[in-house]
Amino acid sequence: MDKSLRKPVIAGNWKMNNTPEQTKALIEQMKPLVAGADCEVILCTPYIDLYAAMEAAEGSNIKIGAENCHWAEKGAFTGEVSAQMLKAAGVPYVIIGHSERRQYFGETDETVRDRVRAALNAGIKVILCVGEVLGERELGITDEIVRKQTKVALSGVSEAELANIIIAYEPVWAIGTGLTATPEQANEVCSVIRSLIAELYSKDASDHFVIQYGGSMNDGNAAELLAQYDVDGGLIGGASLVAEKFAKIVEAASK
Ligand code: PGA
């Protein structure tokens, strides 16, 4: 088993933060700080900031992603944006199934599955989020929940398409709370996901599959989390809004 089969991926999730102007300024600040990264660097921004972000990131090693996409190509879905639209705009990545979408906007395992399908069909790479809420952890059903979320989201995804998917394990109780999973807890669930990939696809697919941890990862705890065998990167909320903090996480992933 060789962790070096997988290149770490550090992705920022800006959530509902930053105007286009602020986006430009923050990316300009980040560019020199992450230029030497030995990992993939992605920033996912609100739709309205995508053009400003791509323009600011042009020619650098920072790739840009959206934070969601709809499952239909087009139609009467007020307020939504399709994967085809993102593709046409030149956006290479999209987050799907973030717990805030599941919690506040009625996202289900099935709508997550459909959005994953739409993104892959459009040729956009997916950061698929899974994770248990605190009550589920306390009941001891974390593995079961994460396995189910993953299985449903990947139903219909071929082994070849797996190369275009990253999974972010994000325990909901650790998101934006300052409570981080211990490195052992993070690794344990990432390893459950990796075993499921082996079960559903192949050992080879699971060895190459990138699994991130997310949930209050910051410049202070990133190195320890990223050193875990099954943790191949991070999905970063709060700390991705501060250039120096984000750059330190990128640096930790590059070691
Ligand atoms: P956080 O968010 O780093 O602010 O906890 C992570 C996420 O929601 O992806």
Residue with CA at minimum distance from ligand 1 atom 1? 237
Contact 218, 233 (CB under 8 A): no
Q: Report CA dihedral (87, 234, 166, 67) to the nearest 10 degrees.
A: -30
Q: Is the CB of 127 under 6 A from ligand 1?
A: no
Q: Is the CB of 238 under 6 A from ligand 1?
A: yes
Has residue 179 got a pLDDT over 90? no
Separation of CA 170 and ligand 1 centre (Å) = 8
Crossing angle of the two packed helices 20-34 and 50-57, in degrees rounded to 10: 30
Q: Band of the pLDDT at 10, cuts 50, 70, 90?
A: very high
Separation of CA 214 and ligand 1 centre (Å) = 6
Over residues 204-249, the pLDDT tens digits come to 999 999 999 999 999 999 999 999 999 999 999 999 999 999 999 9
Separation of CA 140 and ligand 1 centre (Å) = 23
Has residue 1 got a pLDDT over 80? no
Residue with CA at minimum distance from ligand 1 atom 6? 237
Supply the residues annotated as catalytic.
Answer: 98, 170
Separation of CA 98 and ligand 1 centre (Å) = 10
Query: DSSP assignment, residue 230?
Result: T
Radius of gyration (Cα) for the chain, nearest Å?
Answer: 17
The residue written with tokens 């009550």 in the block is 135
Over residues 104-149, the pLDDT tens digits come to 999 999 999 999 999 999 999 999 999 999 999 999 999 999 999 9
Q: Is the CB of 86 under 6 A from ligand 1?
A: no
DSSP states of 83-144? HHHHHHHT--EEEES-HHHHHHS---HHHHHHHHHHHHHHT-EEEEEE---HHHHHTT-HHH
User: What gap in Å lies between CA 131 and CA 190, rounded to an integer?
Assistant: 10
pTM over 0.95: yes
The closest-lying atom of ligand 1 relative to the alpha carbon of residue 129 is: 9
Q: Is the CB of 214 under 6 A from ligand 1?
A: yes
Separation of CA 178 and ligand 1 centre (Å) = 9
Q: Is the CB of 237 under 6 A from ligand 1?
A: yes
Q: Is the CB of 225 under 6 A from ligand 1?
A: no
